[in-house]
Structure 1
Amino acid sequence: MKTGKQKIILAAKILSVLFLALIIAFYLFRDAVLRQTIAKVSNEMEIDYNSTFSVKKASFDGISGVNLSDIVLVPKNADTLFKIQKLKTSVNLWQLAVGNLQLGTLEIKNGFIQLVKKGKVRNFDAFLKKDNQTEINNEKRDYAQFTYRIISKALNLVPTDMVLDNLSFRLNDNEKKATINFQKLRLVNKQLETSIKVQTNTFTQRWKIKGFADPRNKKADIRFVNIDTGAIKVPYFDERYNLKSSFDSIRLNIQNIDKDGDELHIDGFMAITNLKINHQKIASKDVILKNAKFDYRFLLGSDFISIDSTSTVQFNKIKFHPYLAYETEEDTIYKLKVAIPKMKAQDFISSLPDGLFTHFQGMEANGNFDYKLDFMFNKNKPNQLVFDSKLNKENLKITKYGEANLNKLNGEFVYRALIKNVLQRPVLVGSVNPNYTPLYQISPYLRKCVLTTEDPSFFSHRGFINEAFKQSIVKNIKTKKFSRGASTISMQLVKNVFLSREKTVSRKLEEILLVYILENNRIVSKERMLEVYFNIIEWGPDVYGIGEASRFYFQKAPSELSLNECLYLARIIPSPKKFMYQFNDQGMLKDFAIKQESFLTNIMFRRGLLSPDDTIYKSLPILISGPAKSFIKFKVQDSMQIKVDSLVVDEEFDL
């Protein structure tokens, strides 16, 4: 009778013999297996991807090594996808025995991988087709399990020892070209060293990637630097998207990739120095971020993907903790939280990226502040959007203004609108200007109408209307574009007086910060802000301020305007240069304009801003009598009809 220990030893011996037998069998028939495998891959490429795959020569090297030469993949009627002259690799037999393909070594010499687009034809389209099974299967994906499986498979294909010589990655997007050539890449004893040449239609550079890489333990710490002098330029994006960007160095650190129960944790950090970005939608100047670091912790579960709140983003002296989440447990929910711990206001101002906040350069402040943002959007219940922004101040005071001196609004100044980067004629905001109109000399009807259309809660808010902002976000998400804004009169005033009209990220961020400072530090009274607003806004072609507008349209002073005239002036503020399209060829308001006027009137009635006595003369038509009349296209009457009409009139008078 054998003991338990003897049975285990016997079983181990049997397994060893079986494994040895498998190795011997594999060794004897491996060439046939290799040829069969290549033929199978070639057949799959032909049937599934309409591509030709070929290997000119294939042989084994030792027990686990494979040598291949002249490997080519060519989609039908398209450019070659990849071609490699020589490839030598080895696999981990123990991992292969349990069904995992894990590369041990890899050597590649002389090859390229290229993505080509000519017109609308791309040489990789066949490999982007969707898996029908994925579309049929409506089961929820386990994000943690799926991601961990993908990462593990990808890292298993990264060899522990690697030598690449002259391997190029090419991109040709309708002659917008970029080539990244790995002239040399060595991964030996977990140390990575490369020599890279980058060539585009606009520049040529030499880069280097070096550092530590351990694919089996899922760890890495690598740096991206420039061999030549100057910053590293990012290829392709400058030609394709007109986005010019560069940096001095990037560091990527992966400390841990671990699946603990149902959750996957990915920890590490990324750092970049002297990042420079230039794009017309971002800012009119180069945006420069000197130092930035992201200490990240990604968390993935069965029904969520998130950046954990223990993560930290830091650029210059600004540090904050972000929380981002995408959840699918019941509804599809997006979450964003930002927390800036207590910091000095001056450190914040001095840390703002150059080029992004040009009007803040030279600004100085005392005191401290902290900030929190809480945002949540439920795709299935969009109207339940959460947007909560809170800034807590501690002895915060602006001691010196930068380029945008907000105190300017309290005195006389010259205003010049900037349209398409062209300065318009100067308009003096002050009593010396005969068209300047103090607030008390403006018709009360006009004040009520403009506040109703532009900013009903102007006298009670502090620069922003939270509910309008929420509705703007919901509308923009639904339409997938910036189709609705949430500008208050305060925001319009700051934009007009201190900023340009360019639609850039820089201008919008500066607008938000300047409005907050203006409204929360009581620099200018609400009455003065409204008075300046009425005297500078554009009200027609080369018409600025209510003094010019009332005479341009009606040959009246602002105090003499009727309710109908005020309703008209308030409605055209969004598109004042297109006012003429409000009228038909008889010089009367079109139906759509009359409906807008009625809608606005009803709102003012409901809010108690108008009484029945105010509308006694409401039925009278709008008559444009000033210079604006020349912009309206009137119908030219037939000369014979004019004579007939004249005779009829004469006969009537004779009677």
Structure 2
Amino acid sequence: MKRLNFSRKKIRTLGFSILGILVLAIVLGFAFRNAILEQIIAKAAVKMQSDYQCELVVKNPHFEGLNHIEIEGISLTPHHADTLVYVGHLRTGFNLWKLLTGTLQITDLEINRGYIQLVKTKNGSNFDAFLRKKEKQNTTTTLDYAELANRLSSRFLNLIPTQMEITGFALKINDKGHKVHLDFTQLALHNEQLKTAIQLTEGEIHQQWQLSGFADPRNRKADLIFKNQKNDTLVLPYLQHKFHLKTAFQSARFHLDNMGMDSGDFHTDGFASIQQLVLNHPKIASKDVEVANARMDFHWIIGERSIALDSSSLLTLGKLKCRPYLFYEKEEGKTYALQLHIPKTKAQDFIDALPKGLFSHFEGMKTMGSFSYSLDFKYNDQKPNEVVFENKLQPEGLKIVLYGAADLSKINTEFVYRAMERGVPQRPILVSIDNPMYTPLSEISPYLQKCVLTSEDPSFMHHRGFITEAFKQSIAKNIRTKKFARGASTISMQLVKNVFLTREKTLSRKLEEILLVYILENQRIATKERMLEVYFNIIEWGPNVYGIGEAAQYYFQKRPSDLTLKECLYLATIVPKPKGFMYRFDSNREQKKFAVQQQDFLAKLMLRRQLITAEDTLGFHQPLHLTGPAQYRIKGNATDSISIDSLGIEFPEF
């Protein structure tokens, strides 16, 4: 018993000793706090000088009490460049007990006057040094995404004070004379309520922004609304100047419910919404894209080696609801996954939810019935040939009552087709037997039909607009090359693009093409034979040569029904690049080796598929000769610049 009392007494003595040392350290720290502060600032100034070639000046830094610091002026100026940061007066407080454990947590902040200034000239910028990548250190340590996200979010939120008052602060951007000013006339956070008043100036644009709502950085919760104080459109600056991207909206809301670690994963829950969004970019669409109301309820999960948008997330556009799933994992290669699920939805709700300007040809469309849709995509860069691409649409009484701008039913009637070249309409082509150059499918050589189908779309007569395997391979190659290096275009897609859409390379055109092809094929608006006949009569076969009737005359002075197998093989191989046909020939009007090899390959492929017989290839070794007006465009001929119309082909006007 005595030994036990002695142990307790010894422990108490040790505890008091530690407490005494801690108190002594605090007292000494308090006594020498200003000297310590100056030493810290001096080290920071040396680092800025050595690592970033910047001069850091801090005027009269001193403590107020134990946990507040006041500074009468701060400036950070790169060598031979404009000042990057300036603060007139700063007063801040910090959590002392957190600091003793190695965590800096700001409790309050006051700033009066100051700016951050980003200046870029033809000789460089005043922030170049901070953009240089540091050399990667050799390390075998595996990065834990969840721990990294938790650490970075904690540091960031600890630097947000719970009480804040900032006045007269500005963000200035000067990009080679293009200036943007964001003046924070007020930025206040008191009792978890955020209020701001921001003045935007960019050229002739003058707006007053307001960011307000609930913010609790310590408990990681927020509910913020961003809008124009006059309830007018809010324009995001600089994007149009720098990236040709016009971005505007009426208001936006961000709501954060939860952020933190749970069972080893980092979770983030909340929602974001935006009203009256307007986007415009040459690669998106030729006109403004408008989204009336969009909302994303998100649940992000970051694991040790993975990042995922959980399938419990919900995307809402008008009355359309969609559950997305995104996944990335770096384990045995990089794995990317995407899943989309649209539950049973009225078709008209889907049409009405499509962003205006992105689906211009669907505006005004009226439908009946409903559908559900699911998409499953997965790709691993170590197993590119095992890409997963599966999609399923289940219609229920789906029917189009009224078409929009793209009236697909016209494909069954006579119509005038005009190709577009760089936005300029070409001469009209009448798709009708009243056009002497029009050729019914029954009068087109079976050889040509087989050659073109084999080279362009072998399964055209059986598929419903798309070839899943081609999509898989296209996606795999595009991801691998990090560009759109390969397409998966079918004859159905080419037909829709040519007849109903333009040739502009925009996201809008591609999305419209996919939807229109699905409707054309799955609503059985036209037979495969009719689609193929129209295709043969409108596609480009050479410079100002449209349709097989014109092509047969232009190259061989024949009717399409009289073309030989060798002539058909030639015509099929020039379909991808018809205007460059002359580069397939040498100055003696003989086909170059690569052109002959292409046609031989296509012929052998057709033989293997039993589309032609060995008898069909008799005399195949004989060289191909152009006998029509096309021969005069071959390099080295004196009449290279003579127009097509002057060479004996008469095109009727419609």
Q: What is the deviation of 1:237?
A: 0.8
Q: Distance in 1 between matches of 2:454 and 2:117?
A: 59
43, 50, 53: which is aligned to 1:40?
43
Matches within 5 A, 1:445-456: 445-456=447-458
70, 73, 76: which is aligned to 2:73?
70
Q: Distance in 2 between matches of 1:464 and 1:355?
A: 25
Q: What is the deviation of 1:41?
A: 0.7
Matches within 5 A, 1:402-551: 402-551=404-553
Query: Where does residue 26 of structure 2 map in the other structure?
Result: 23
Identity of aligned residues (%): 51
Q: Distance in 1 between matches of 2:195 and 2:637?
A: 78
Closer/same/farther in 2, CA of residues 301 and 4 from structure 1, 3 Å limit: farther
Q: What is the deviation of 1:131?
A: 4.1
Query: Where does residue 104 of structure 2 map in the other structure?
Result: 101
Query: Where does residue 296 of structure 1 map in the other structure?
Result: 298
TM-score, length basis structure 2: 0.94
Closer/same/farther in 2, CA of residues 344 and 208 from structure 1, 3 Å limit: same
Check whether the contact 1:586–1:635 (CA below 8 A) recurs between aligned residues.
no
Q: What is the deviation of 1:420?
A: 1.6
Q: Distance in 2 between matches of 1:608 and 1:499?
A: 36
Q: Distance in 1 between matches of 2:176 and 2:387?
A: 42
Matches within 5 A, 1:375-414: 375-414=377-416
Q: What is the deviation of 1:228?
A: 3.3
Letter in 2 for 1:146: L
Q: Deviations over 1:5-37 (max 9, x none)?
A: 988887776565444433321221111111111
Instruction: Give the root-mean-square deviation of aligned CA atoms.
Output: 1.9
Query: Where does residue 648 of structure 1 map in the other structure?
Result: none
Query: Where does residue 634 of structure 2 map in the other structure?
Result: 632
Q: What is the deviation of 1:604?
A: 1.3
Query: Where does residue 118 of structure 2 map in the other structure?
Result: 115
Query: Where does residue 374 of structure 1 map in the other structure?
Result: 376
Letter in 2 for 1:523: I
Structure 1 window deviating more from structure 2 (188-197 vs 47-56): it is 47-56
Q: Deviations over 1:318-365 (max 9, x none)?
A: 111111111123321111111111111111011111111111111111
Q: Distance in 1 between matches of 2:477 and 2:410?
A: 35
Closer/same/farther in 2, CA of residues 138 and 115 from structure 1, 3 Å limit: farther
Letter in 2 for 1:103: I
Check whether the contact 2:167–2:184 (CA below 8 A) recurs between aligned residues.
yes
232, 235, 245: which is aligned to 1:233?
235
Q: Distance in 1 between matches of 2:407 and 2:237?
A: 40
Query: Where does residue 317 of structure 2 map in the other structure?
Result: 315
Query: Where does residue 644 of structure 1 map in the other structure?
Result: none
Query: Where does residue 556 of structure 1 map in the other structure?
Result: 558
Query: Where does residue 346 of structure 2 map in the other structure?
Result: 344
Letter in 2 for 1:616: L
Equivalent position SS for 1:212: strand
Check whether the contact 2:165–2:189 (CA below 8 A) recurs between aligned residues.
yes
Query: Where does residue 587 of structure 2 map in the other structure?
Result: 585
Closer/same/farther in 2, CA of residues 395 and 157 from structure 1, 3 Å limit: same
Equivalent position SS for 1:78: coil
Check whether the contact 2:233–2:249 (CA below 8 A) recurs between aligned residues.
yes
Q: Distance in 2 between matches of 1:388 and 1:160?
A: 49
Q: Deviations over 1:171-192 (max 9, x none)?
A: 2333333222211100011100
Q: Distance in 2 between matches of 1:526 and 1:635?
A: 41
Q: What is the deviation of 1:238?
A: 0.4
Q: What is the deviation of 1:257?
A: 0.7
Equivalent position SS for 1:67: strand
**Shift >3 Å, 4+ stretches:** 1-20, 128-132
Letter in 2 for 1:352: L
Q: Distance in 2 between matches of 1:459 and 1:227?
A: 59
Structure 1 window deviating more from structure 2 (373-382 vs 626-635): it is 626-635
Check whether the contact 2:246–2:280 (CA below 8 A) recurs between aligned residues.
yes
Q: What is the deviation of 1:400?
A: 1.6
Letter in 2 for 1:591: K
Equivalent position SS for 1:136: coil
Count residues with an aligned counterpart: 636
Letter in 2 for 1:490: S
Q: Distance in 2 between matches of 1:621 and 1:65?
A: 91
Query: Where does residue 50 of structure 1 map in the other structure?
Result: 53
Query: Where does residue 365 of structure 2 map in the other structure?
Result: 363
Structure 1's unaligned 5+ residue stretches are: 638-655
Equivalent position SS for 1:452: helix
Q: Deviations over 1:358-408 (max 9, x none)?
A: 111111111111111111110111111111111111111112211111111
Structure 2's unaligned 5+ residue stretches are: 640-654
Query: Where does residue 643 of structure 1 map in the other structure?
Result: none
TM-score, length basis structure 1: 0.94
Letter in 2 for 1:323: Y
Closer/same/farther in 2, CA of residues 157 and 126 from structure 1, 3 Å limit: same
Q: What is the deviation of 1:115?
A: 2.6
Check whether the contact 1:176–1:240 (CA below 8 A) recurs between aligned residues.
no
Query: Where does residue 646 of structure 2 map in the other structure?
Result: none
Check whether the contact 1:366–1:397 (CA below 8 A) recurs between aligned residues.
yes
Matched, 1:282 2:263: no
Structure 1 window deviating more from structure 2 (15-24 vs 67-76): it is 15-24
Query: Where does residue 261 of structure 1 map in the other structure?
Result: 263
Check whether the contact 1:587–1:634 (CA below 8 A) recurs between aligned residues.
no
Check whether the contact 2:264–2:303 (CA below 8 A) recurs between aligned residues.
yes
Q: Distance in 2 between matches of 1:454 and 1:428?
A: 24
Equivalent position SS for 1:135: coil
Query: Where does residue 152 of structure 2 map in the other structure?
Result: 150
Check whether the contact 1:364–1:398 (CA below 8 A) recurs between aligned residues.
yes
Q: Deviations over 1:563-583 (max 9, x none)?
A: 111111111111111111111
